[in-house]
């Protein structure tokens, strides 16, 4: 495997690792958002339960007011009946007053009429106060009911949005997990491929090492042969030189042997 293939493989592995890190970070972020959404949903549910309790309390208060209003209405009706009775008694007393000429009876009747008028005024004031209180309570109950209904609608809308967001996040997390599983499978395949390629590279390196050793051995053998040839050539040259010297020596020896008799004759 050449250097370019190794570099491309490393780049692909790095890109795959970076993608896994990004997907893992994205999944963690979505899981945190999912927990926050679930917490918000739990809080909204708790608030809704609190508002339900408040509504029950309000309903109980409203029911109490209604019962109080019913009691008040009965009281008012009774007071109106008493007023009607008093008015009738007043009319009867007036008629008796016209027929009765006794001064003491007249004074007594007048004081009775004054007393009845004062009692009537007090009862009318009580009736007016109770009616105003009933109207005010009804108005407050209506306003509180609107506020509570608005708050319930807002909470229900928040719960709906939180549920939708929760479902979307769950779907997205499932998709990311599927992508991560797919990437894990691809990484397993890549790891197997890398292991196989490493084995091939090792085999190639071993073959190259053996070839280098063979080449070195051949070079050593060649050098040894060259040294032998050089030694043989040097030996041949030495032998040739020695032979030349020997031949020269042999040529000198006869000439010297011829000159010796001439010298002896001279003596």
Instruction: Report the CATH number that the domain containing residue 184 is assigned in CATH.
Output: 1.10.287
The half-sphere exposure of 218 on its side-chain side, counting CA atoms within 13 A, is: 6
- Closest by Cα among 10, 2, 4 to 190: 10
Residue 236 placed within a domain = yes
The total number of structural domains in the chain stands at 1
213/226 Cα distance (integer angstroms):
19
Whether 62 contacts 141, CB under 8 Å: yes
Q: Is residue 264 part of a domain?
A: no
pLDDT of residue 248: 80
Q: What is the pLDDT of residue 117?
A: 66
Asked if residue 152 lies in contact with residue 48, where contact means CB atoms within 8 angstroms, the answer is yes
Residue 261, in any domain of the structure? no
Of 87, 104, 106, residue with least CA distance to 96: 106
The predicted pLDDT at position 48 comes to 66
- Which tokens in the block code for residue 229? 């040839």
SS3 145: helix
- From 180, 177, 167, 176, select the one nearest 34 (Cα to Cα): 167
Pair 48, 155: CB distance under 8 Å: yes
Does 263 reside within a domain? Answer: no
C-alpha 231 chain-centroid distance = 84
In a domain, 29, yes or no: yes
Residue 186 · residue 16 · CB < 8 Å: yes
User: Residues of 124-143 as b/e, b for ≥16 C-beta within 10 angstroms?
Assistant: eeebeebeeebeebeeebee
Query: How high is the pLDDT of residue 123?
Result: 65
Express as a percent the part of the chain with pLDDT over 70: 53
- Res 263: pLDDT: 39
Where are the strands (E) in 132-232, listed by range?
none
Residue 48 in any domain: the answer is yes
Q: Pick from 29, 12, 14, 47: which is nearest to 156 by CA?
A: 47
| Cα–Cα distance measured from residue 224 to residue 214, given in angstroms and rounded to the nearest whole number | 15
CA distance 119 to 53: 44
Computed from CA positions of residues 134, 139, 140, 144, in that sequence, does the dihedral angle turn out positive or negative? positive
Q: What is the pLDDT of residues 86-143, one digit of tens each?
A: 666 656 655 554 555 444 555 655 566 666 667 667 766 766 777 777 788 778 777 8
Q: Which domain holds residue 129?
A: 3-254
Quick one: CA dihedral 250, 252, 257, 258, positive or negative? Answer: positive
Give me 252's structure tokens. Answer: 């000198």
pLDDT at 267: 39
Mean pLDDT computed over every residue of the chain: 71
The confidence score (pLDDT) of residue 96 equals: 54
- Non-local (6+) Cβ contacts of 200 within 8 A are 1
Token pair listed for 182:
């797919």
Residues of the chain with pLDDT under 50: 1, 97, 101-103, 260-267
């Amino acid at each position: 495997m050449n250097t370019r293939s190794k570099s491309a493989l490393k780049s692909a592995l790095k890109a795959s690792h970076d993608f896994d890190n990004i997907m893992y970070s994205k999944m963690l972020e979505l899981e945190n958002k999912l927990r926050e959404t679930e917490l918000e949903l739990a809080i909204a549910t708790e608030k809704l339960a609190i508002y339900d309790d408040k509504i029950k309390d309000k309903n109980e208060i409203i029911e109490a007011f209604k019962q109080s209003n019913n009691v008040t209405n009965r009281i008012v009706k009774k007071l109106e009946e008493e007023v009607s009775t008093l008015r009738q008694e007043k009319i009867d007393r007036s008629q008796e007053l016209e027929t009765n000429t006794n001064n003491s009876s007249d004074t007594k009747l007048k004081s009775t009429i004054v007393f009845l008028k004062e009692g009537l005024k007090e009862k009318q004031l009580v009736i007016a106060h109770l009616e105003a209180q009933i109207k005010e309570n009804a108005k407050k109950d209506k306003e509180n009911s609107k506020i509570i209904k608005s708050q319930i609608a807002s909470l229900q809308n928040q719960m709906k949005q939180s549920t939708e967001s929760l479902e979307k996040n769950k779907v997205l997390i499932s998709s990311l997990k599927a992508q991560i599983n797919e990437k894990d499978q691809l990484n397993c395949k890549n790891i197997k491929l890398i292991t196989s390629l490493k084995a091939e590279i090792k085999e190639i390196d071993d073959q190259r090492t053996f070839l280098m050793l063979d080449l070195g051995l051949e070079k050593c053998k060649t050098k040894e042969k060259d040294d032998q040839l050089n030694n043989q050539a040097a030996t041949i040259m030495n032998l040739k030189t020695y032979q030349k010297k020997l031949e020269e020596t042999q040529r000198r020896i006869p000439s010297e042997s011829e000159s010796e008799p001439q010298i002896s004759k001279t003596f």
